[in-house]
Amino acid sequence: IAGITQAPTSQILAAGRRMTLRCTQDMRHNAMYWYRQDLGLGLRLIHYSNTAGTTGKGEVPDGYSVSRANTDDFPLTLASAVPSQTSVYFCASRALAFTGELFFGEGSRLTVL
Amino acid sequence: EDQVTQSPEALRLQEGESSSLNCSYTVSGLRGLFWYRQDPGKGPEFLFTLYSAGEEKEKERLKATLTKKESFLHITAPKPEDSATYLCAVGNAGNMLTFGGGTRLMVKP
């Protein structure tokens, strides 16, 4: 049972470079999310998608973009990385509009130098 | 703006020493309060959903309770394997979740 797969697991990136974090789920969930987790700040929502073809902005969307071309994939792109984007990024999904039960990936640790 | 505050930030217990974690919240139209467990280097894992004040949920040594302003996660006779970070989140009328900063629990044998 794979659930949610994120790649890469870890990446060191030079400031100004473009980076895409990949997220794939095999549960056929409609809703998908991207969070960043920083010490002391908890999980903060970056972008979300309630269904394929739609996306929305979360609490901290600046500097990030997403797309949802199909049900399974939800990539997160940093167009021009900055050091403040150093964080652990989690992709999550849930089956229904509101169950509260999010399924998370293992995370992608990104360091921007 | 929805807010979730968890306390304490860290908690050290001896094996068998029961205690409680607190989650205080303000939310526009509570649609549910959720507890997650997160192990180091892993993604959060869902534990409980509580929908209304007075509701309780149990799983092994964990029991979650809910009032109109806060939730408690009670840990009875904890074991070292209960060591993890416990996250609380609230869902609002727009079906969005807001997470607290978490409580890092360490249980020593």
Question: With bands split at pLDDT 50, 70 and 90, how would you rate the model's confidence at A104?
Answer: very high
Nearest CA in chain A to B88: A42
Whole-number Cα distances in Å, B64 to A22, B14, B57: 34, 21, 5
pLDDT at B35 over 90: yes
3-state secondary structure of B67: coil
Strands B62-66 and B56-59: antiparallel
How close, in Å, is residue A40 to chain B by CA atoms? 6
The residues near B9 (Cβ < 8 Å, ≥ 6 apart) are B101, B102, B103, B104
Count how many domains chain B has: 1
Residues in A 41-100 with any Cβ partner in B closer than 8 A:
41-45, 48, 58, 90, 92, 97-100
pLDDT value at position A96?
73
| Residue type, position B11, single letter | L
Provide the terminal-to-terminal Cα distance of chain B, rounded to the nearest Å. Answer: 41
Question: With bands split at pLDDT 50, 70 and 90, how would you rate the model's confidence at A105?
Answer: very high
Interface test with A, best of B85, B96, B103 (most A CBs within 10 A): B96
pLDDT value at position A97?
60
Q: Can you give the residue range of the structural domain that contains B72?
A: 3-108
3-state secondary structure of A85: helix
The shares of helix, strand and coil residues in chain B, as percent rounded to the nearest 5, are: 5, 60, 40
| Whether B5 contacts B100, CB under 8 Å | yes
pLDDT tens for B42-83 read 999 999 999 999 999 999 999 999 999 999 999 999 999 999
pLDDT tens for A21-69 read 999 999 999 999 999 999 878 899 999 999 999 999 999 999 999 999 9
Question: With bands split at pLDDT 50, 70 and 90, how would you rate the model's confidence at B16?
Answer: very high
Cβ contacts of B49 on chain A, cutoff 8 Å: 99-101
How close, in Å, is residue A70 to chain B by CA atoms? 22
Dist. CA A99–CA A105, nearest whole Å: 18
Question: With bands split at pLDDT 50, 70 and 90, how would you rate the model's confidence at B36?
Answer: very high
pLDDT at A103 over 90: yes
Nearest CA in chain A to B49: A100
Q: Please report, rounded to a whole number, the percentage of residues in chain B having pLDDT higher than 90.
A: 90
pLDDT value at position A1?
60
How close, in Å, is residue B88 to chain A by CA atoms? 10
Among B31, B44, B100, the residue with its CB nearest the CB of A98 is B31
Cβ contacts of A98 on chain B, cutoff 8 Å: 31-32, 91, 95
pLDDT value at position B51?
92
B83 alpha carbon, distance to own chain's centre: 13
pLDDT value at position A111?
97
pLDDT value at position A98?
62
pLDDT tens for A63-102 read 999 999 999 999 999 999 999 999 999 999 998 766 678 9
pLDDT value at position A24?
97
| Residue type, position B97, single letter | L
How close, in Å, is residue B99 to chain A by CA atoms? 6
Return the CATH number at B14: 2.60.40.10
Dist. CA B17–CA A92, nearest whole Å: 34
Interface test with A, best of B2, B52, B55, B95 (most A CBs within 10 A): B95
B96 alpha carbon, distance to own chain's centre: 17
**Cα atoms in the 13 Å half-sphere on the side-chain side of B81:** 2
pLDDT value at position A39?
85
- Determine contact: B69 vs chain A, CB below 8 A: no
Cα radius of gyration (chain B): 13
